């Protein structure tokens, strides 16, 4: 094999496994509308796990050890006494003098895997990293990945599934054993199938098939993958091959599923009579009638009756379909089949009342998807709304804004209540994504009716506009409503201040002045605000007004840095008004108190005003002092240039 090609395929496909992809296992393809027949998914997943468990049992049966405890544990498991087997191995592992911990752990994991306890199996396989190496370690890591991925699908854990896939990649790259690396690669193809990347999955299956490295459980998923791709001939061929496997291994329930899928192929092709004939080949071993109170429907009955009902629907035999559906609805079935509206509905509220929010949420979404509008529509939506808000609120309380954003996009069609939307929008703002937050806030503001005022939504919308440098839009929104009480007035003035600051930062000084005027009317003296206001006046050629504001600042503030900034402002405004004497006095005072970084600028301007007054010696002294600060400043360079100019001018006069 060409390992480089395989690694390239693997790594390329792994790009698909990013948090931006929604974790949604594909539906088993069939002739009905997807939401009406997802019960097939239950059996597909069940039989894939059953095949995997049977493979694990074969490995357990082949396990050989010199340790009699392990031999006895294997024997107990084969006698269906798996709990006794686990207890026996656990007691043995507690012995501190045991030297074959790796064998004991491996046997324990394999037993858990063979009975379908995949979380426990994965936990034990992970313990082997401290006891094994080489292909023995890679084999345990491979089995850990299988157990983790199955558990991840069962519990809809995206993170676990990606973790398992990365482990499969490591096993594939490091093992030289064809049985190990081919299984790792096939496992990756299964994960690609789960994430609906059917074409990439088929490329891997195809290569492994060419090298005769595919086992029955992967043929099974490949057949399902062919169905998803619409490759009916290829799917039919593999299902028939799997039928031989099921017959050979006396897997009667699996045989029924294969007949179900072969019938689905025929139904998709439009051959409803052929489909019905294949469905009727499913095993029938019940003696009682469905309406008998002692009747117990098994998997054969459920699959055959549901499939027969669907064919009746497709044939427009509604009375017959209703009879069949009525029969199957009377039997006990796994709730995950989604066959009974009442079972699904009760599950939603039972989960919610038990504090199992995740399950209640998934069940509620499932219910809405399957049944649409029902008399319980509002109650189901309430469960969804409460769950989403709690998830968002819990994440917001811990400042986990990324999780809120991820869950918002993952469940965007279900996030509809104001309280949840506000948290989502705030999360986007906290992560500096104002475009996304603006969309949510705009929707919230537009939904407000009558005299009500959604302060939080308006505030968020304005802040979003500010972050987007859309200050005019923010100002227009703020001026569009009137505050009716002290709370709203306080809210409005704080937002006005934010908009004024944003105008100022953006160099929109005329608009900034208008906003600052509104703020100054109601807020107590704020030196920072006043300095920005005065500078805005100065930069819009309102020098006299700016001087008045600067002088007021000097009277009210005792902060030396504020005084320095105020004196500099007075000096600049006076310079622009050609009041050079006033400017010189202001700059001279500023030079005495200016900070180290400000001195070059102040001294340069002092030199300029002195020069305008014809006091060349004062000007030269100021520029010289600016140069001598040694600061890395444009004003130092300007001062140096001015010294050169005046020196050259004096020499020319001589």
**pLDDT tens digits for 551-585?**
999 999 888 888 989 999 999 999 899 998 998 99
What integer is the mean pLDDT of 19-26?
A: 49
d(CA 170, CA 141): 9
Residue from 612, 608, 590, 610 nearest 599 by CA = 590
- pLDDT score recorded for residue 12: 42
pLDDT at 294: 47
Residue 43: Cβ within 10 Å count: 23
Q: What is the mean pLDDT of residues 207-227?
A: 81
| Cα(485)–Cα(439) distance, integer angstroms | 28
Token pair of 355 as six digits: 């504090």
pLDDT computed for residue 326 by the predictor: 61
pLDDT, tens digit (0-9, with 9 covering 90-100), for 633-642: 888 888 888 8
Record the tokens describing residue 412, joined without a space: 């965007």
Distance of alpha carbon 410 from alpha carbon 21, whole angstroms: 9
Q: What is the pLDDT of residues 425-483, one digit of tens each?
A: 999 999 999 999 999 988 888 765 444 567 888 888 888 888 888 888 888 888 877 77
Model confidence at 11, pLDDT cuts 50, 70, 90, reads: very low
Confidence at 8, pLDDT banded by 50, 70, 90: very low
The burial of 621, by beta-carbon neighbours within 10 Å (0-12 exposed, 13-18 middle, 19 or more buried), is given as: middle
The token pair at 539 is 């930069």
| Per-residue confidence (pLDDT) for residue 353, from 0 to 100 | 67
Which range is most confident: 166-170, 372-376, 463-467?
463-467
Is the whole-model pTM more than 0.85? no
634, two tokens = 């444009």
Residue 475, judged by CB atoms within 10 A of its CB (0-12, 13-18, 19+), counts as buried
Report the 10 Å Cβ neighbour count for 649.
10
- The three-point CA angle 329-301-326 to 5° equals 25
Q: How confident is the model at residue 395 (pLDDT cuts 50, 70, 90)?
A: very high
Smallest Cα–Cα separation from 479: which of 458, 502, 450?
A: 458
Per-residue confidence band for 295, with pLDDT thresholds at 50, 70 and 90 = very low
Count of CB atoms situated within 10 Å of the CB of 263? 30
| CA atoms of 593 and 586, how far apart (whole Å) | 11
Res. 41 pLDDT band, cuts 50 70 90? confident
Q: What is the pLDDT of residue 35?
A: 44
**How many Å is the maximal CA-CA distance in the chain?**
129
Is a pLDDT exceeding 90 seen at residue 152? no
- Provide CB contacts within 8 A for 314, sequence distance 6+: 31, 32, 267, 272
How far is the C-alpha of 476 from the C-alpha of 493, rounded, in Å? 14
Confidence at residue 451, expressed as pLDDT on a 0 to 100 scale:
47
**Separation between Cα atoms, residue 278 and residue 483, nearest integer Å:** 73
What is residue 345's predicted lDDT score, i.e. its pLDDT? 59
Residues 6+ apart with CB under 8 A from 466: 434, 474, 498, 499, 502
109 near 56, Cβ under 8 Å? no
| Listed residue (113, 115, 110, 67) closest to 91, CA to CA | 67
Rounded CA separation 298/612 (Å): 103
In the chain, pLDDT over 70 holds for what percent of residues?
85
Q: Is the pLDDT of residue 588 over 80?
A: yes
Which of 44-48, 405-409, 497-501 shows the lowest mean pLDDT across its residues?
A: 44-48
């Amino acid at each position: 094999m060409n390992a480089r090609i395989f690694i390239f395929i693997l790594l390329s496909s792994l790009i698909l496994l990013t948090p931006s992809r929604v974790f949604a296992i594909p539906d088993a393809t069939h002739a009905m509308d997807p939401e009406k027949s997802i019960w097939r998914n239950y059996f597909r997943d069940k039989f894939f796990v059953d095949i995997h468990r049977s493979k694990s049992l074969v490995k357990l049966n082949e396990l050989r050890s010199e340790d009699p405890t392990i031999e006895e544990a294997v024997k107990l498991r084969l006698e269906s006494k798996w709990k006794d087997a686990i207890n026996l191995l656990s007691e043995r592992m507690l012995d501190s003098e045991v030297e074959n911990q790796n064998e004991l752990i491996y046997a324990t994991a394999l037993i858990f895997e063979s009975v379908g306890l995949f979380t426990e199996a994965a936990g034990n396989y992970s313990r082997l990293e401290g006891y094994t190496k080489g292909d023995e370690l890679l084999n345990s890591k491979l089995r850990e990945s299988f157990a983790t991925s199955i558990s991840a699908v069962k519990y809809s854990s995206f993170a676990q599934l990606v973790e398992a896939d990365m482990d499969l990649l490591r096993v594939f790259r490091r093992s030289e054993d064809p049985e190990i690396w081919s299984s790792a690669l096939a496992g990756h193809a299964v994960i690609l199938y789960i994430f609906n990347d059917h074409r990439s999955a088929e490329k891997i299956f195809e290569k492994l098939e060419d090298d005769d490295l595919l086992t029955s459980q992967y043929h099974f998923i490949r057949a399902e993958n062919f169905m998803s791709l619409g490759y009916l001939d290829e799917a039919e061929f593999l299902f028939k091959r799997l039928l031989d496997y099921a017959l050979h291994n006396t897997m009667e329930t699996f045989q029924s599923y294969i007949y179900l899928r072969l019938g689905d192929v025929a139904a998709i092709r439009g051959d409803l009579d052929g489909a019905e004939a294949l469905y009727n080949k499913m095993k029938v071993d019940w003696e009682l009638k469905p309406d008998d109170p002692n009747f117990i429907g098994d998997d054969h009955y459920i699959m055959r009756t549901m499939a027969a009902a669907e064919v009746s629907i497709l044939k427009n035999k509604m009375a017959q379909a209703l009879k069949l559906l009525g029969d199957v609805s009377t039997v006990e079935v796994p709730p995950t089949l989604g066959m009974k509206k009442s079972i699904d509905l009760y599950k939603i509220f039972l989960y919610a009342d038990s504090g199992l929010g995740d399950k209640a949420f998934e069940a509620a979404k499932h219910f809405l998807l399957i049944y649409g509008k029902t008399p319980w529509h509002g109650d189901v939506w309430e469960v969804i709304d409460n769950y989403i808000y709690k998830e968002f609120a819990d994440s917001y309380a811990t400042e986990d804004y990324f999780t809120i954003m991820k869950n918002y996009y993952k469940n965007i069609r279900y996030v509809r209540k104001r309280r949840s939307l506000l948290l989502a929008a705030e999360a986007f703002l906290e992560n500096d994504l104002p475009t996304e937050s603006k969309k949510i806030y705009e929707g919230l503001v537009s939904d407000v009716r009558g005299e009500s005022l959604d302060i939080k939504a308006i505030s968020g919308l304005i802040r979003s506009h500010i972050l987007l440098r859309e200050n005019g839009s923010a100002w227009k929104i703020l001026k569009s409503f009137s505050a009716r009480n002290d709370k709203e007035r306080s809210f409005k003035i704080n937002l006005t201040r934010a908009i004024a600051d944003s105008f100022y930062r953006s160099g929109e000084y005329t608009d900034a002045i208008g906003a600052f005027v509104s703020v100054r009317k109601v807020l107590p003296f704020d030196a920072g605000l006043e300095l920005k206001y005065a500078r805005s006046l100065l930069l819009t050629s309102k020098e006299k007004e700016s001087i008045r504001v600067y002088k007021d600042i000097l009277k009210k503030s005792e902060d030396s840095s504020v005084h320095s900034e105020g004196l500099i402002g007075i000096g600049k405004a006076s310079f622009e008004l050609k009041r050079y004497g006033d400017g010189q006095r202001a700059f001279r005072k500023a030079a005495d108190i200016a900070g180290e970084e400000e001195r070059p600028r102040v001294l340069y301007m002092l030199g300029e005003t002195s020069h305008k007054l014809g006091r060349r010696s004062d000007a030269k002294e100021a520029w010289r002092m600016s140069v001598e600060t040694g600061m890395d400043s444009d004003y130092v360079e300007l001062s140096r240039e001015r010294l050169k100019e005046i020196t050259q001018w004096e020499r020319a006069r001589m």
